[in-house]
Each structure stands twice: as structure tokens, then as C-alpha cells.
Amino acid sequence: MSFKTICVIGLGYIGLPTAAVFASRKVSVIGVDISQHAVDTINRGKIHIVEPDLDILVHATVKEGFLSATTKPEKADAFVMAVPTPFKGEDHEPNLDYIESATRALAKVLEKGNLVVLESTSPVGATEKMAAWLAEERPDLTFPQDAGEDSDIRIAHCPERVLPGHILRELVENDRIIGGLTPKCTELASQLYKIFVEGACIATNARTAEMSKLTENASRDGQIAFANELSVLCDKMDIDVWELISLANRHPRVNILQPGCGVGGHCIAVDPWFIVNQFPNDALMIKAARETNDGKPLFVISKVEQAAKDIKNPKIACLGLAFKPDIDDLRESPALEITKLLSDNARFTILAVEPNVKELPPVLSNRKNVALSSLENSLEEADVVVVLVKHKEFIGLTAEKSILDFVNSCNQ
């Protein structure tokens, strides 16, 4: 099939780079987002997120006429959905409302022969639910769950597997898992991604594709949990965890990751809970890893409180709010959560340092004892400096005061 027009729904950290890469291959791409600000920004050839080189690519593809943005889906040959899948509440039940809303919106413009791909990280079975919602909206069309290979519409799941800060390169170079509801769906989705993917497009079914993404991130979560638990144990034994890991990793079959102040982002911090939510009595190790990583911020806070206990009305500099180095993404960020919890202490004045944002996020902006501060000012004024994210600006940091470094930034 020749894909002349592609509609990408959701223009966030995954959707916008995906739309821009498709457009860079001289394919007409319509980007859709409910944020008028995001739409207007993109149509000016600019971007509303931080990702290296994305601004150049968006500017070029908009200027050449291959990329445009709007707030409602338009007719296309293929639809790629990259919308959020948050939790409904404290029990970590997946919230598919964004997927359902986007699905019902795009159903209005579906035509026979179209391909619909779900990229959003989802619990197993979400692609089938998307197909059912499409069928409810469009009884005049046939779908794979009823018509099999002869369906009017093809449906597949293709999870993204990219690293923020390296998204444009990894979109092109990484292998992609392509899971259709039928083999024909898989084949057509593979053709779509081969427009720009230089890695392998590996065929499977939709459920396996959904579980592959959850498995990848649950595995990483478990490895990080081991490192984070090790850091807590080393603190109790007065052992330098960074030196210990360096020594242990000299074993030819050991590769311990680096500990931090927790785990953030919309993948590793979220995806394992999708498995636990579906199988609470069986996913015991996965759940334990999540609880270990979710508990690390409380350990960090206890160390900060201990360092500031003898200081009257201390000023605490929190270096980093993003969930990983050198990006502006605050989703599920343990650094942001730590900063927020520290600001709950009325004794503390919080100087938040985040080089990649221009204003405090809403969770902090209404707190009188929190201010967005420069690194220079914070190092001068703070009584306690807490390094939460290994931004390049913080590497090799020194100061004439207490520094609590939870990411091994100062020793670099």
C-alpha cells in the first residue's frame, strides 16, 4: 500500500518526533493534538517540548509543507495514535480514556482500506478494545475481530521504544515490534514503519507486542530497583555505593546499574504496574521492584531532613526536576516528587533548579516556599544542596556547603 497521508494523534514526546520523521520522508503528515497551544506552536515551525534536533526537523518539514497540525483528526491512509495512558487512581488501574476519546474521534473520518496503529503503551488487550470502539462508531465498516483478513480496516499495535534525548536517532535505528490483529494487519503496519525505520520490523500479534513493551520496562525497573536497594544498604554500612558497584561490575557477568533518587518517566515508572494490575497475585517480583523504586524518594527526603535538622529555617537547593538528565520531561519524576514533599515542610525554603524549564510546574507554582532559581544563586544561598538529576550543568559540582549527591554527579 502507498501511504500518501498519515495522521498522527497526540503530539507529545513521542507523537511529534514520529510525525516529524514521517514528514521528513516527504509524506504528508497531519498532526492532531487537543492542545491549541501545541498546534499553533507546531504550525509556526516551532516545538513545545525539549528534544535535541527536533526543532530543526519540525521547522524544515512545516516549511516544506509536509507537516501541519490541527485539533481534530482528518482523513488519511494511516492513523498512528500516541496519546497518554495514565493511572485512574492510587491502585494503578490503567486509564484508557485518552485512547478511547482519540479512537472515537478518528472513527468519524475512517475509510475502507485505512490502517490504525496504537503506539501508546498499554495493558494487554488495549488494541482489541480500540478495535471494538471503532466498530461501535462505524457499523458501516468491517474490522478484524469480525471479518478477519477481509476486514475493511487494518489494526495493529507498535510500541515505541526510544530514549528521551535520543528520540530522533532511535526512532530510525531501533528495531520495531509490529503486532497486528491479523497477519495482514501486521504486514501493512510493517510497510508503514519501513518508511523511516532502518532497524528490523519484527512481526508478531497485538497482545505479544503490547506485552513486549511492558516486559522491557519491567525488566529495567527490576535492575534499577536492585541498584536503589543496594544504595540504601550501603548507606547503613557506610560504604560508597558508587565504588562498590564499580568493583562488582568488574566481574565478567555482572552489570549493576547506577542508583538514583527513584524512577520516573511515563514508561519504566508506569508500565510494570499495568502487569501487576492485571495479575496482582502472580507478578510478585515486578511489584516488589516497583515498590522499591517508588520508596526511594522517601529515603532521599530522610537524608535531607537529617542534614538540615540543626539549621534554623534552612534553604534547600533541589538540583533537577526532570525525570532524567538533560530533558524537560517531568512526567512521574521522582526529583519533582521529592521537591514537592520537601516543600511540605514549612521550615524549608526550596530553591528549585531546573535548567530545562522556564517556569515551575503547577504542582510547585502555588507554594510560597518554593522558587525557581539559577544554579549560581542556589549554590550561594542554600544551606543544603541536593543533586537529584545528573544534568550536564551539575556534573563536577563543588560548593562550600553540604552537598547530598544521589546521582554521582559531583564525582565525575
Q: Percentage of the chain surpassing pLDDT 90?
A: 93
* pLDDT of residue 298 exceeding 90: yes
Which CATH number is 5-199 given?
Answer: 3.40.50.720
For the chain, give every domain's residue range: 5-199, 239-405
Whole-number pLDDT of residue 232: 98
C-alpha cell at 225: 530497583
- Mean of per-residue pLDDT scores for the chain: 96
Task: Answer yes or no: 358 catalytic.
Answer: no
Per-residue confidence at 412, pLDDT binned at 50, 70, 90? Answer: low
Longest alpha-carbon distance in the chain:
73
Q: What is the mean pLDDT of residues 227-244?
A: 98
Residue from 158, 261, 267, 318 carrying the catalytic annotation: 267
Residue 32 reports pLDDT greater than 80: yes
Q: Determine the pLDDT at residue 89.
A: 79
Instruction: List, for residues 43-78, the tens digit of each pLDDT value.
Output: 999 999 989 999 999 999 999 999 999 999 999 999
Confidence tier at 1 by pLDDT (50, 70, 90): confident
The pLDDT score that the predictor gives to residue 303 is 97
Q: What is the mean pLDDT of residues 136-159?
A: 97
Confidence of residue 402 (pLDDT cuts 50, 70, 90): confident
Residue 185 CB: number of other CB atoms within 10 A?
28
Poorest-pLDDT segment among 111-115, 221-225, 328-332: 328-332
Of 185, 213, 340, 390, the active-site residue reads 213
Burial class (CB in 10 A: 0-12, 13-18, 19+), 112: exposed
CA 34, 38, 39, 40 dihedral sign is positive
Query: What's the CA gap between 183 and 91, in Å, rounded?
Result: 35
Q: Same CATH fold, 239-405 and 5-199?
A: yes
* CATH node for 239-405: 3.40.50.720
| pTM score, whole prediction | 0.91
Q: What is the pLDDT of residues 324-347, one digit of tens each?
A: 999 999 999 999 999 999 999 999
Cell matching residue 404: 547530598
Tens of pLDDT, residue by residue over 252-294, are: 999 999 999 999 988 899 999 999 999 999 999 999 999 999 9
What is the model's pLDDT at position 159?
A: 95
With bands split at pLDDT 50, 70 and 90, how would you rate the model's confidence at 90?
confident
Q: Which whole number is the average pLDDT over 106-117?
A: 98
The upper half-sphere exposure of residue 153, i.e. CA atoms within 13 Å in the direction of its Cβ, equals: 27
Catalytic residue flag (residue 234): no
Q: How far apart are alpha carbons 332 and 380 in whole angstroms?
A: 29
Enter the C-alpha cell of residue 28: 504528508
DSSP states of 137-188: H-TTS--HHHHGGG-SSEEEE------TTSHHHHHHHS-EEEEESSHHHHHH
